[in-house]
A and B are shown apart, each in its own frame.
Chain A
Amino acid sequence: MAVLVIADHDNAALKDSTHKTVTAAQAFGGDIDVLVAGQNARAAAEAAAKIAGVRKVLLAESAELGQGLAEAFDALVTPLMANYDAVFTPATAQGKNLSPRIAARLDVAQVSDVIEVVDASTFVRPIYAGNALETVQSADAKKVVTVRPTAFKPAAEGGSAAIESLAAPAAPAKARFVEQKLVKSARPELAGAKIVVSGGRALGSAEEFQRVIEPLADKLGAAVGASRAAVDAGYAPNDYQVGQTGKVVAPELYVAVGISGAIQHLAGMKDSKVIVAINKDPEAPIFQVADYGLVADYKTAVPELLSALG
């Protein structure tokens, strides 16, 4: 058997979610090849070659792959699948964009957002915003799987796989990149951060969100997250959203400030190792999942927390 893992990277660097997807692929079994598709992505391919247990790294480069166009990934990956029994992709926004397209091309039912690989045809995945877990068995000859990275430990380093260059197929003309506005931040990336500090609607404005949440995140070396309510209200960018329909995180420490704890939000953070909630409403549902709850107004609690942290 052989599995293709589609790497998550920004050309310069490989993301941790790739290592975690390799772990999921190891549970599936067989040889593991990692596809690094992008533009000027050799650095990411070299990083992928160092993951222990990888047979080889396939590097495909073109402008359209660098822009992440699903049609370009479809044109590249679908023919490659003649050589593989499964394709595993991290369930990031990009993975969710491209993987179902490949599944349909192959006439395969995708198994989405897998949190456990039971065997080569059986997978566990959350449904209903994580309120239930479904164990499914796939009857398809090939498996197309997206992997929830937080559910798997990263594969170790120490490999030395060969890097093989592939020609990228002709660019699809029907979809074109126009522009990209990425949030620039010196903080750790939300999806892989060890500590996350998230703010909710209680903060009341974008200015207050920045004034309160960011210094605490900086003090803890944490990534910044937000509830859907805070993002919808414009207090924080969409990329910060933690929840069922945003990012799923599972850091060592998750600090929820002024977040009530809607089901939607809990679905995105309840697998964190330690959860701290700061909320002035003692009845807020967030306290039901918090290991440590502080019933207090964030206006006084966060400055006190900063000074207690020294």
Chain B
Amino acid sequence: MKALVPVKRVIDYNVKPRVKADQTGVDLANVKMSMNPFDEISVEEAVRLKEKGVLSEIVAVSVGPTQAQETLRTALAMGADRAILVDAQGQDLEPLAVAKVLKALVAEESPELVIIGKQSIDGDNNAVGQMLAALLDWPQATFASEVEIAGGKAKVTREVDGGLQTIEVDLPAVITVDLRLNEPRYASLPNIMKAKKKPLDVKELASLGADVSPRLKVLKVTEPPKRAGGIKVDTAADLVLKLKNEAGVL
């Protein structure tokens, strides 16, 4: 069974994003970039499924800039078998456009499973997996914290409002992963070396024939309002007095 694992190159999660002075976006020049943390979890899950013998091939894909090849090499070093970069030539594609590109890749690769992070930590849209499932008319299992695959079905435990829900979906399906599904491995040095020899195809965005026209125009990007600095209190009793008399919340 083959799995397609989309990964995104994003600002490293330890870097505090800075809004550009001209309000056109967040400054990404000379900023450390990494694989979206949720996508690391989906790559890890795919590798574990391959280690269990459930998957036979893992294809990591990215729709992004040329530098996303580094992100794909990371996925290869973690255990993906080959990689495809769809070079977006500087365009920052919206989730709907990414889902359409992925749909075109699914048509070429015919995977039985797409396993993808539930959201990227830059756009925070939480949409691509669900949109891809809709475009393919596949079932979706979002926010997975446990995945079992057997007999052409995936049994997925999901993080939902109020607790956990388990659903079963027929394959092919899209699974989006949540934080507690697994703890991603660090790629070992020998695996990083091996990853350099694994195949990485680069495709032109136009060659896939997907409609990637933007629907949303970003008018401005601004800093959120800052909270005014607070005060330190010395004792718990003092705290309670201030909450009652000053803040009026007790």
Query: Is A275 part of the binding interface, using a Cβ–Cβ cutoff of 8 Å?
Result: yes
Task: Tell me which residues from 141 to 166 in chain B have a Cβ below 8 Å from any Cβ of chain A.
Answer: 141-143, 145, 155, 159-166
Q: How many angstroms between the C-alpha atoms of A191 and B173 in the bound complex?
A: 30
Q: Across the interface, which residues of B come within 8 angstroms of A67, CB to CB?
A: 165, 167
Q: Across the interface, which residues of A come within 8 angstroms of B122, CB to CB?
A: 127-128
Chain A minimum-CB-distance residue to B143: A93
Residue in B128, B145, B235 whose beta carbon sits within 8 Å of that of A238 in the complex: B145
Residue in B99, B221, B229, B236 whose beta carbon sits within 8 Å of that of A127 in the complex: B221
Contact pattern, B 208-225, Cβ under 8 Å of A = 1, otherwise 0: 000000111111111110
With A129-B121, A136-B219 as contacts: A70 and B140 at CB distance below 8 Å: yes
Residue in B132, B143, B161, B239 whose beta carbon sits within 8 Å of that of A276 in the complex: B239
Chain B minimum-CB-distance residue to A175: B139
Q: Across the interface, which residues of B come within 8 angstroms of A179, CB to CB?
A: 165-166
The residue among B99, B130, B168, B223 with the most chain A CB atoms within 10 A of its own CB is B130
Cβ-defined contact, A181 with B164, below 8 A: yes
The secondary structure that dominates the B interface is mixed
Query: Is A140 part of the binding interface, using a Cβ–Cβ cutoff of 8 Å?
Result: yes
Stretch at the interface among A18-26, A97-105, A200-208: A97-105
Q: How many angstroms between the C-alpha atoms of A183 and B1 in the bound complex?
A: 36
Residue in A130, A228, A294 whose beta carbon sits within 8 Å of that of B179 in the complex: A228
Query: Is B197 part of the binding interface, using a Cβ–Cβ cutoff of 8 Å?
Result: no
Instruction: Compute the total of residue contacts between A and B using a CB distance below 8 Å.
Output: 264
Cβ-defined contact, B16 with A172, below 8 A: no
Task: Tell me which residues from 236 to 262 in chain A have a Cβ below 8 Å from any Cβ of chain B.
Answer: 237-239, 244-245, 252-253
Residue in A97, A111, A296 whose beta carbon sits within 8 Å of that of B130 in the complex: A97
Contact pattern, A 165-207, Cβ under 8 Å of B = 1, otherwise 0: 0000000111111111111000000010001000000000000
Interface size on A, as a range, is 35 or more
Contact pattern, B 237-248, Cβ under 8 Å of A = 1, otherwise 0: 101101100010
Q: Across the interface, which residues of A come within 8 angstroms of B220, CB to CB?
A: 134-135
Query: Is B108 part of the binding interface, using a Cβ–Cβ cutoff of 8 Å?
Result: no
Chain A residues close to B by CB (< 8 Å): 8, 10, 67-71, 74, 92-94, 96-105, 107-113, 122, 126-140, 172-183, 191, 195, 220, 228, 231-232, 237-239, 244-245, 252-253, 263-264, 270, 273-276, 287-296, 301-302, 304-305, 307-309
Pick 12 A–B contacts, CB within 8 A, sort by A.
Answer: A100-B129, A100-B131, A110-B95, A110-B125, A113-B124, A128-B11, A128-B124, A136-B216, A183-B163, A287-B230, A302-B236, A309-B250
Chain B residues close to A by CB (< 8 Å): 11, 13, 16-17, 19, 26, 38, 94-96, 99, 118-119, 121-135, 138-143, 145, 155, 159-170, 173, 178-180, 214-224, 227, 229-237, 239-240, 242-243, 247, 249-250
